[in-house]
Amino acid sequence: MSIFIFIIGILLFISLVIIHELGHFWVARRNGVVAEEFGIFFPPALYKRKTKKGWIFSINLLPLGGFVKLKGEHDSDTEPGSFGAATLWVKSKIMAAGVFFNLITALVLFIILAWLGLPQLVGGQFNVTHGSHISRQEVLVTSVLPNSPAASIGISSENQIEAIGLAGALKPINTISDMQKLTQHFAGQQVVVKYKNSGQEYQKEVRLLSAAVVKASSNTSSPKGYFGVTLTSLALRQYSWWAAPVEAVGLTLQITKLTFVGLGHALVGLGQIVAGLVTGNTHARQHGQAVASAQVAGPVGIFVILKDGSLLGYKYMLFIIAIISLTLAIMNILPLPALDGGRLWLTLITRGFGKQLSAKVEETINATGMAILLVLIVLITLVDVHRFF
């Protein structure tokens, strides 16, 4: 089941790119700008087909995004039907459309999840208390001590502990406190543990460590637990029809704020890396690298996040996809060259000064931005490989 959810997650992630570019495509055509090509991923092309309406649909090799090629994309182009000939208002709508579509996608997913059961994964997560209730709680294993009772029956990280007790009288585990109380109560006894691994349920017998053994190890460098695991608690909260949209908006604002805080930390880390390189301060450079890399994830990181999310169920996968969609909206509205926000803000600023960029200058800025973006993607990918593998 988890493999199926993972595949769906990958397809949904790709669909976020399509939704983003569909925003540009749809708004351009609605406002009289000719769209020449709709591309999924970046060239070189793997597949191309000209549609009956005259525009080209392509699937490309490099999975780094997507694109819509418009007629006369330079701000200085004047031919009818070209992007350059459109009004400033139309250009702004086209460039911001992808951001808007990703934002709406995130909001819709949050609303749907609020009705079905919204994962509580964000620290201090925004919640509408009236009109909501905890519909499900899960206790997951985060790590297993070597040679522990848990390890002896094949428990591993990300397994869900469902129940524990004597044969024929299992008691459900809804919180970490439940697990702590029950393992202490059955200390030294032969118990049955019911757990779920990759969607498959198991029931196995094991003898818990005695209270004397646990107490004797408490002051050593390797303290033991009755069962020998560390746990995390996950919960799903359901909202009424009226509370779900409020929850979606509040959560969107909270995650947006956290994203900007993370970007701030990444910039501080980047500054420390530069300062460390200039001054030869190895500690400052390494600390900056750790701070900056902790705030970002590239294609490899997203792959790992989706894989881990698939083990938790489809609601957690949809939650991750919603956050990625919101993050795409935020990143694409920032004034970063080669991205939508960079082009939008560049156009607004130059028009504010009553000037217009030449085709050559515009191409130079966008090409430079794209080169920097590709270098960053390569560096982030290397960091992700080191972090996750």
- Residues 112, 159, single domain; the answer is no
Task: Look at 388 and 41; give whichever has higher pLDDT.
Answer: 41
166 shares a domain with 116: no
Which of residues 239, 273, 300 is at a domain's end? 239
Q: How far is CA 357 from CA 76, 88, 371, in A?
A: 7, 13, 20
Per-residue pLDDT, averaged over 101-116, amounts to 96
- pLDDT of 191 reads 95
Does residue 64 form part of some domain? Answer: no
Q: Which pLDDT band, with edges at 50, 70 and 90, does 336 fall under? A: confident
Q: Which pLDDT band holds residue 334 (cuts at 50, 70, 90)?
A: confident
* Residue 19 identity (one-letter amino acid): I
Between 109 and 7, the higher pLDDT residue: 109
The token pair at 62 is 């490099």
Does residue 326 lie in a domain region? yes
Which pLDDT score is estimated for 23? 96
Q: What is the mean pLDDT of residues 231-247?
A: 92
Please write the tens of the pLDDT for every residue from 153-174: 999 888 899 999 998 889 999 8
Q: CB atoms < 10 A from the CB of 129, how many? A: 8
> How high is the pLDDT of residue 300?
65
DSSP 325-389: HHHHHHHHHS--TTSHHHHHHHHHHHHHTT----HHHHHHHHHHHHHHHHHHHHHHHHHHHHHH-
Residues 150 and 165 in one domain: yes
- Assess whether pLDDT exceeds 70 at residue 231: yes
Residue 147: give its domain's CATH number: 2.30.42.10
Identify the pLDDT of residue 342.
Answer: 85
Rounded CA gap, 81 and 308, in Å? 46
Whether residue 376 sits in one domain with residue 319: yes
| Residue that terminates a domain, selected from 184, 207, 239 | 239
Is residue 361's pLDDT more than 80? no
Angle at 304 between CA 303 and CA 307, to 5 degrees: 90
If DSSP codes are grouped into helix, strand and coil, which group holds residue 82? coil
Which is nearest to 195 in space by CA: 158, 147, 146? 158
Cα–Cα distance between 120 and 254 in angstroms, integer?
13
Q: Clarify whether residues 234 and 254 are in a common domain.
A: no
pLDDT at 3: 81
Least confident window among 202-211, 240-249, 348-357, 373-382: 373-382
Which SS3 state, helix, strand or coil, does residue 63 take?
strand
Using the Cα atoms of residue 363, residue 364, residue 369 and residue 375 in order, give the sign of their dihedral. positive
294 Cβ contact partners less than 8 Å away, ≥ 6 residues apart: 265, 269
Spatial contact of 58 and 141, defined as CB atoms under 8 Å apart: no
CA separation for the pair 83, 29 (Å, rounded): 11
Q: Residues with Cβ < 8 Å from 128, sequence gap 6 or more?
A: 239, 243, 246, 247, 250
Residue 359's domain spans which residues? 1-34+71-131+240-389
Q: What pLDDT was estimated at residue 298?
A: 58
In a domain, 52, yes or no: no
Q: Which residue has the tokens 């031919």?
A: 79
Whether 122 maps to a domain, the answer reads yes
From 239, 269, 291, the end of a domain falls on 239
Higher pLDDT, residue 12 or 288:
12
* Residue 98 falls inside a structural domain: yes
Q: What are residue 244's phi and psi, to 5 degrees?
A: -60, -50
Q: How far apart are CA 143 and CA 146, in angstroms?
A: 10
Torsion angles phi and psi, residue 93, rounded to 5? -65, -45
Q: pLDDT tens for residues 196-228?
A: 987 789 999 999 999 999 999 888 888 899 999
Map residue 175 onto helix, strand or coil.
coil
Q: What pLDDT sits at residue 368?
A: 81
- Is the pLDDT at 295 greater than 80? The verdict is no
Helix-helix angle 88-116:2-30, to 10 degrees: 150
User: In the predicted model, what is the mean pLDDT of residues 26-54?
Assistant: 94
Kindly report the average pLDDT of the chain as a whole number: 85
The count of residues in the chain is: 389
**Within-domain flag for 289:** yes
Does the pLDDT at position 148 exceed 90? yes
List the structure tokens of 90. Answer: 């139309």
Count of domains in the chain? 2
Domain annotation covers residue 62: no
Q: What is the model's pLDDT at position 321?
A: 94
Tokens of residue 275, six digits: 């300062």
The verdict on 162 and 284 lying in the same domain is no
* Co-location of 322 and 386 in the same domain: yes
Residues 260 and 113 in one domain: yes
Residues 341 and 210 in one domain: no
User: Residue 98 — very low, low, confident or very high, per pLDDT cuts 50/70/90?
Assistant: very high
**Helix and strand totals (H; E) in the chain:** 11, 9
Please report, rounded to a whole number, the percentage of residues in the chain having pLDDT higher than 90.
48
Between residues 318 and 5, which one has the greater pLDDT?
A: 318
Write out pLDDT tens, residues 306-323. Answer: 777 777 778 889 999 999
In a domain, 60, yes or no: no
Give the model's pLDDT for residue 365: 78
Banded model confidence at residue 123, pLDDT cuts 50, 70, 90: confident
Distance CA(327)–CA(295), nearest Å, equals: 12
Q: Are residues 340 and 359 in the same domain?
A: yes
Q: Do residues 271 and 339 both lie within one domain?
A: yes
Q: Is the pLDDT of residue 1 over 60?
A: no
Q: Indicate whether 260 and 149 sit together in one domain.
A: no
